[in-house]
Amino acid sequence: MIDIKFLRENPDVVKENIRKKFQDQKIALVDEVLSLDAKNREVKLNGDELRGKRNSLSSEIGNLMKQGKKEEAENIKLEVQKINQELAENEKLEEEYGIKIEEKMMKIPNIIHESVPIGKDDSQNVEIEKFGEPFVPSYEIPYHTDIMEKLEGIDLDSARRVAGNGFYYLMGDIARLHSAVISYARDFMINKGFTYCVPPFMIRSNVVTGVMSFEEMDAMMYKIEGEDLYLIGTSEHSMIGKFKDQILQKDKLPYTMTSYSPCFRKEKGAHGIEERGVYRIHQFEKQEMIVVCEPEDSYKWYEKLWSYTVELFRSLEIPVRTLECCSGDLADLKAKSCDVEAWSPRQQKYFEVGSCSNLTDAQARRLGIRIKGEKGNYYAHTLNNTVVAPPRMLIAFLENHYQEDGSITIPEVLLPYMGGTKVLKPKI
């Protein structure tokens, strides 16, 4: 959510930002907010005048009572009662305007960074840099679930019977590999100085609306029936929610945290051949990183965060590239975002395995996360980035370490987490 003061002073800038995000249907919101804001400020001014008049009359009542002018005092009391009624109506109107303004402001997208390329959708995202040489072996690489099945590491049929499509059983060496990657990612981030955290896996609606747009909420979140609770789609949600309504001390900043959690997503509209495996699923596990920092430091942290993901994947001997998300591909709260994509030798293309985002003060405004300053409090900046998210990451791992005989080699960094096992051999 942007600053309403900024919107008042720069309505054309806000409208142009909406156009850059190809959301022209939202342009009218700017004038609607300005109209409501003008009425609300008028109501507030009227309230201040009424309170001032009431205070003056109340003082006069005391003086009249001291002078024994009881009848005059009673007449003024009636006038004060009338003012109180007007104030109650005025405050009700002020509350109504406030709610309407907030509802509309929540739909206006954050101001994107000047470096963001303008484009309508993810097809117009821009490649930034490649890391590692993508390769295609001389032998065929099977579909990832076929590789897992040969290792007796996945059971999709049982999962469908138990929970439906979009779920899976990981077993044996594949399950161990999955846990090894998560554990390695955890320690990787701890060694970067991040604090490890396991957060709540459910959050209340006022946290959900604080961390994402209504469109994202509808597309992603599972609601717990009969309770004000939602299953998290990523631990970023509860990690940023941790700071809700807090005033942070400058000397404690930045907060750098890495969190583990299961993630639950509806994945509306998932389709295509990759959906038959574990690329788009309703439940998975993820290691995340989040930063809460001073506004002037957020873009420095942005560059650090995505580079950590690249470093981790390269340590696992997986070629990756970074892709700058264009304006139309940015969620409403994001000011700048890039995807990290891993190389798929089977498909001979890259696919997304992580996303890094700077939300500037958009989440902080919604959640009331402020920093205590010498000249007053101000909003913090928040960032998040995927460290690793298996089993999607396992697709890249298995394809890039697949050998002609069907075995999977284990890179050196994972050996301590795999009990020293260097090769996974097919069992079928």
pLDDT tens-place values along the chain, 428 residues long: 899 999 999 999 999 999 999 999 999 999 999 999 999 999 999 988 888 888 888 777 767 777 777 778 778 888 888 888 889 999 999 999 999 999 999 999 999 999 999 999 999 999 999 999 999 999 999 999 999 999 999 999 999 999 988 899 999 999 999 999 999 999 999 999 999 999 999 999 999 999 988 778 878 899 999 999 999 999 999 999 999 999 999 999 999 999 999 999 987 555 443 456 888 889 999 999 999 999 999 999 999 999 999 999 999 999 999 999 999 999 999 999 999 999 999 999 999 999 999 999 999 999 999 999 988 999 999 999 999 998 889 999 999 999 999 999 999 999 999 999 999 999 87
Report residue 155: phi and psi, to 5°: -140, 95
Whether 162 and 290 map to the same domain: the answer is yes
Q: Which residues touch 104 (CB under 8 Å, ≥6 apart)?
A: 29, 32, 33, 36
- Given 48, 78, 105, which residue is the final one in a domain? 105
Residue 39, both tokens: 């009425």
Which CATH number do you get for residue 329? 3.30.930.10
Claim to verify: residue 79 and residue 148 sit in the same structural domain:
no
Residues 99 and 129 in one domain: no
Q: Within a domain: residue 116?
A: no
156 and 68, same structural domain? no
Range of the domain at 189: 122-424
Q: Which of 105, 131, 153 is the last residue of a domain?
A: 105
SS (H, E, C) the chain: CCCHHHHHHCHHHHHHHHHHCCCHHHHHHHHHHHHHHHHHHHHHHHHHHHHHHHHHHHHHHHHHHHCCCHHHHHHHHHHHHHHHHHHHHHHHHHHHHHHHHHHHHCCCCCCCCCCCCCCCCHHHCEEEEEECCCCCCCCCCCCHHHHHHHCCCEEHHHHHHHCCCCCCEECHHHHHHHHHHHHHHHHHHHCCCCEEECCCCEECHHHHHHHCCHHHHHHHCEECCCCCCEECCCHHHHHHHCCCCCEEEHHHCCEEEEEEEEEECCCCCCCCHHHHCCCCCCEEEEEEEEEEECHHHHHHHHHHHHHHHHHHHHHCCCCEEEEECCHHHCCCCCCEEEEEEEEECCCCEEEEEEEEEECCCHHHHHHCCEEECCCCCEECEEEEEEEECCCHHHHHHHHHCECCCCCEECCHHHHHHCCCCCEECCCC
Bond prior to 200 in cis (omega within 30° of 0): no
Residues 42 and 68 in one domain: yes
Most distant CA pair in the chain, distance: 107
CATH of the domain at 84: 1.10.287.40
Q: Is residue 111 part of a domain?
A: no
Per the domain annotation, does 413 fall within a domain?
yes
Residue at which a domain ends, from 42, 76, 105: 105
**Are residues 357 and 275 both part of a single domain?**
yes
* Assigned domain for 203 exists: yes
Say if CB 322 and CB 129 are below 8 A apart: yes
Strand order in the sheet with 230-231: 202-203, 230-231, 222-223
What is the tally of structural domains in the chain? 2
Which of 105, 106, 128 lies closest to 116 in space, CA to CA? 128
Cα–Cα distances (Å) from 10 to 2, 13, 183, 258, in that order, read 11, 5, 47, 37
Which structure tokens are listed for 46? 């009227």
Is residue 180 domain-shared with residue 36, that is, in the same domain?
Answer: no
Question: Is the same domain home to 72 and 34?
Answer: yes
- Please check whether residue 115 lies inside any domain of the structure: no
Q: Is the peptide bond before 142 cis (omega within 30 degrees of 0)?
A: no
Q: Are residues 265 and 173 in the same domain?
A: yes
> From CA 372, how far away is CA 380, in angstroms rounded?
10
Residue 112 inside a domain? The answer is no
Who contacts 334 (Cβ-Cβ below 8 Å, separation ≥6)? 110, 112, 325, 357, 358, 359, 362
Tell me whether residue 30 is in a domain. Answer: yes
Q: Answer yes or no: do 96 and 165 share one domain.
A: no
Work out whether the CA dihedral 106, 108, 114, 120 comes out positive or negative: positive
C-alpha–C-alpha distance, residues 268 and 261, integer Å: 21
Q: What are the structure tokens assigned to 326, written together?
A: 């264009």
Q: State the pLDDT at residue 273.
A: 36
The verdict on 241 and 388 lying in the same domain is yes
Q: Which amino acid is at 340?
A: V
Pairing state between β 222-223 and 195-197: unpaired
Contact status, residue 397 vs residue 410, Cβ threshold 8 Å: no
- Residue 354 inside a domain? The answer is yes
pTM: 0.90
Same domain, yes or no: 144 and 271: yes
Rounded CA separation 128/172 (Å): 38
